[in-house]
Chain A
């Protein structure tokens, strides 16, 4: 009986977390829809960050509006090229998780920064693939965006929980 009660309680806790995460997720999407300036800012900031990263790596980079020429390869930076969605996912999970406010704020700040850096690395890797193996581009693009990005978000979230439990 105790085991059943424990399992039921744990299931309720899991569903509670999922519910809070979905609520945070939808709220974030609503804010993005009502304030299109956020996505426009994210695109501009991604382009500028790519320019800085390219300069540090001594890679040729030229910007024209939403287009970036990286190492001879033309890329159009759209909303999907920014880390907005994975950041929203990570922040939603952190906000939904039971933790002190300062841990959440710290996780949101550091996690957001790390995802920004990851996204720059992802775009640079895609530019490399497009330059040297263009036939692989579509597969790598989907794989990196969906699979690897989800894994990065999960690793960050799990690491944050571990630090929370230790701290």
Chain B
């Protein structure tokens, strides 16, 4: 729980710069996606309306809140993870456009199930990518030993 309390503190501090850079970051993400599509010979108009770069702030907060991992491991996790998440966000936008074009012919999709699934997946990328990456890079230090081991059964209740 102390880890989560530290996470809340760091996340609250980092929320401000994330909010202040939100518009510029999303415009840059869209511009980069447009450029990539132009280079690929498939121009597209792309607008990004995700809560980014909040996932980068969340991830950094989780790393900074971690105490069990050695300092150099935590710093390495931040140095690797933040750009990786940014790149993953760009990839998600590109996949969103390509997947919609393949399923509906339109970069923005339509009201069909396939488009809804693609849109939901894109919108939830920030939700899952930060905790998942933290778990992958720092989980083995921060989680108690054996907490995720499937062969360890819960303690049996004492029978009266």
Contacts and interface: CB of A to CB of B under 8 A. Distances in A.
A139 B131 CA distance: 22
Contacts of A89: 124, 127-128
Interface of B: 1, 4, 7-8, 11-12, 15, 19, 22, 51, 54-55, 57-58, 113-114, 116-117, 120-121, 123-124, 126-128, 130-132, 135-136, 139-140, 143, 145, 147-150, 152, 154-155, 157
A10 B8 CA distance: 26
Contact of B120 (A14, A29, A143, A148): A29
B136 A14 contact: yes
A167 interface: yes
Given A29-B124, A32-B116, A18 B132 contact: yes
Interface in A133-147: 138-139, 142-143, 145-147
B54 to A, nearest CB: 5
Given A7-B140, A25-B128, A89-B128, A33 B120 contact: yes
A33 B121 CA distance: 10
Contacts of B128: 21-22, 25, 89
Interface residues of A, number: 46
A115 to B, nearest CB: 13
A29 B51 contact: no
A148 B7 CA distance: 10
B contact face: mostly helix, strand, loop, or mixed: helix
A33 B117 contact: yes
A100 B140 contact: no
Given A14-B148, A158-B1, A33 B116 contact: yes
Interface of A: 7, 10-11, 13-18, 21-22, 25-26, 29-30, 32-34, 36, 85-86, 88-89, 97-100, 103, 138-139, 142-143, 145-148, 150-151, 154-155, 158, 161, 164-167
Contacts of B8: 147-148, 151
A17 B154 contact: no
A98 to B, nearest CB: 4
A154 B131 CA distance: 9
A32 B139 CA distance: 30
Given A25-B124, A33-B113, A143-B19, A100 B154 contact: yes
- For the complex of A and B, the 9 pairs showing the least CB-CB separation, nearest first, are A33-B117, A98-B150, A33-B116, A13-B148, A14-B139, A33-B113, A10-B140, A29-B120, A147-B11
